[in-house]
Chain A
């Protein structure tokens, strides 16, 4: 079985053309990227607003958690049925797919952004206001940078879920890596089906690695405890502070 999957994946014929792996991969990334960006555009500002003002926390518990419980496939079918009569063909299937993926991605980004902002050290926030920062300055210069580790981990888990779930696009006759899974199932071509699943998993991993790299780049070293190399005499202090950081979180 493993050999059959490897054979399928290593067959050059499967990689090229409009039904090849490369094309499907690009489609899959397209759906995922569009959905992730839209979800982030909704969930980041909302999470920042709720975390900063403390207003609307019911949204976190209510909307975010109920979204998580939505069955993606059922929802997709429903939206397609509702929309298919009134929209041109291409949009009638793409839009429902994106809506489903966006709804899936909002909860992790929203809750993590809210929690990240809200958990910023109360004394740092107090000092920020006390030194004369405006609310907006506190949010952008103190709260958001300090919340970045949690915000990015929310985006990472949203990206993973989107990439895994974007396979449903194929269910409504769109492309993406889901094609191999759906078609493989229909044609009883199990190596193709399994190869499709493997490709989705590998893509998810690669995207996560890219996001980890982004995280390393944008999150302050002061928050992660990965301080720049210092002189040997300060190593003890450094180790202590790393410990306090990890217990504090």
Chain B
């Protein structure tokens, strides 16, 4: 059809329309789920085990058939499509990657292009490009999955799902089987990749922190497959609809929500500095005992306590207190507040994009800024609601 060739850009590529899954023994895994996954964005399904999040995901590519309702992709009812053909158009990433152990990395990645009948060379070129893109060195392409670490395998899993350039990606706990450091790495790279690719992604996790970090919108499901709340991460933290969501979102949510609020141009105070390695003047007339040491490029190195009697000499080495964090001027309010709270002088260090000192702020100033934002939000209530 000519209409579909033009490909109208839909606002919601995936739509759940009253979708249920009931097993023969009567248990309901998913109950009348209505949900829309916006085009080009990451929708995270999160909830405790038994909430039907994986079932919901697997109903999109019909790995599980719904017993009620409809799922529409690009306005087409998936039930009317051939299941295998439908799946070839949807990227699928699972926990532990599920790579084929008997095939090399390159042959794993060319799986879907081969199913679609691509030319062999074209498929291999595409696979090499993707493996490079997900950060795997080219010497790994002829290895077997058993020779790779868990994190590397998961990168291959992502490359394999992207091979035929599907507009939709389904990801079922893809990062939960790797250690925390690798997981954060994979998450950061995933977000970077998504910035470039703009896929419509449905992502399942049981980890609320991962949901909040990755999601453009987060759907919290409760046991029995009911949608408890669908909201942008910041809204979820700020306004959980009920006790279940509030509990699930967890502690520190007020503080964590600040991670979504850009600090903007925070007014800073000029700070007295001492060049790294030079003598610290014991200036009795100075307002404060703490002075900030900076290196030759103007990057903060640590605080020096000039009132300390047993610690004298130039501003270097063990004389530097390095406990304070720094916040970028265009960073988040969370970073700014943390910089102030973690600073021994109670003054948070604000730096520019290159890490050079701009000045300092106090925790009170950050709090005032937060309060000002909140009263702005209250007076303009309603304007900012909806999905982000």
- Contacts from A to B (Cβ < 8 Å): 121, 123-134, 137, 142, 145-146, 148, 220-223, 225, 227-228, 230-231, 234, 237-238, 241-242, 244-245
Contact = CB atoms under 8 A, between A and B. Distances in A.
B307 interface: no
22 contacts: A123-B96, A124-B99, A124-B101, A125-B98, A126-B63, A127-B92, A127-B157, A128-B98, A130-B98, A132-B86, A132-B87, A132-B112, A132-B115, A133-B84, A137-B115, A227-B144, A228-B142, A230-B143, A230-B147, A237-B149, A244-B146, A245-B146
A198 to B, nearest CB: 39
Contacts of B146: 222, 225, 227, 241-242, 244-245
A143 to B, nearest CB: 10
Interface of B: 61, 63, 84-89, 92, 94-104, 111-112, 115, 139, 142-149, 157, 160-161, 170
Given A121-B98, A146-B101, A131 B147 contact: no
A131 to B, nearest CB: 5
Contacts of B86: 132
A249 to B, nearest CB: 11
A125 B92 CA distance: 13
A241 B115 contact: no
Nearest to B114: A141
A132 B85 contact: yes
A223 B148 CA distance: 13
A223 B143 CA distance: 12
Contact of A130 (B92, B102, B145, B149): B92
Contacts of B142: 228
A132 B84 contact: yes
A137 B114 CA distance: 12
Contacts of A129: 63, 87
B100 A124 contact: yes
A246 to B, nearest CB: 11
A188 B16 CA distance: 84
Nearest to B163: A131
A220 B94 contact: no
Contact of B103 (A121, A222, A227, A228): A222
A121 B92 contact: no
Contacts of B160: 127, 131
B98 A127 contact: yes
B84 A223 contact: no
Contacts of A223: 101-102
10 closest A-B pairs by CB: A222-B144, A127-B98, A132-B88, A123-B98, A220-B102, A132-B87, A130-B92, A241-B146, A145-B102, A132-B84
A234 B149 CA distance: 11
Given A225-B146, A234-B147, 5 more contacts: A121-B98, A131-B92, A131-B112, A131-B161, A230-B147
Nearest to A137: B115
A234 B148 CA distance: 10
A237 B92 contact: no
B51 to A, nearest CB: 20
A126 B96 CA distance: 11
Contacts of A227: 143-144, 146-147
A240 to B, nearest CB: 9
Contacts of A242: 146
Pick the most buried of A124, A132, A133, A222: most chain B CB atoms within 10 A of its CB.
A132
A123 B92 CA distance: 12
A131 B63 contact: no
Contacts of A148: 102
Contacts of B102: 142, 145-146, 148, 220, 222-223
Nearest to A149: B102
A131 B84 CA distance: 8
A132 B62 CA distance: 10
A225 B143 CA distance: 11
Contacts of B63: 126, 129-130
Given A230-B143, A241-B146, A128 B84 contact: no
Contacts of A128: 98, 100
